[in-house]
Structure 1
């Protein structure tokens, strides 16, 4: 099967902002694994500031926080994907799979138009 492109890149907008997209979902998964925004940023090759801004955007866009964090200190900080954040990730992944399935036939026909 030849495709015009890889899997679709679904983005969910909230006003002018991207509430969640592939990069933000990847960041949430990394935070879930590492328990840290800083460690997740390093893992994904982005600055801590960029990661923090992405988390802040998600927390502002959704009705509940998707990430809860504690500031550093002698005991260290940390971050956790909330139960609500896990629901967001699960629903986003399910929507992505549904979009991919729906577009497969059209992508196949579109690929025939490419060199």
Structure 2
């Protein structure tokens, strides 16, 4: 068998992978969100951030429709409140109790991320 083709692009490097519902903190570099140790900085407000959160959810909601605008806010909330050990554990966030500890918007977003 002979196959003809071409190289479309190449990878420069490979970063940490997401495993068992965990989002590696290193991924924030792709959103151009530079956090300093111990500080909770607001995420950037530019195209890289939008591309980042839309990529996390494949730009879709749970039913395969376009990602709702509130996913952007939910993503901000997750990364502002949870940068622990340089990773975000989506399973822990989704299984928190009710009330202030758990947001339905964040839960929907994280369900889609998973």
TM bin (shorter chain): under 0.3
Q: TM-score, normalization: structure 2?
A: 0.27
- Higher normalized helix content (fraction of residues): 1
Q: TM-score, normalization: structure 1?
A: 0.27
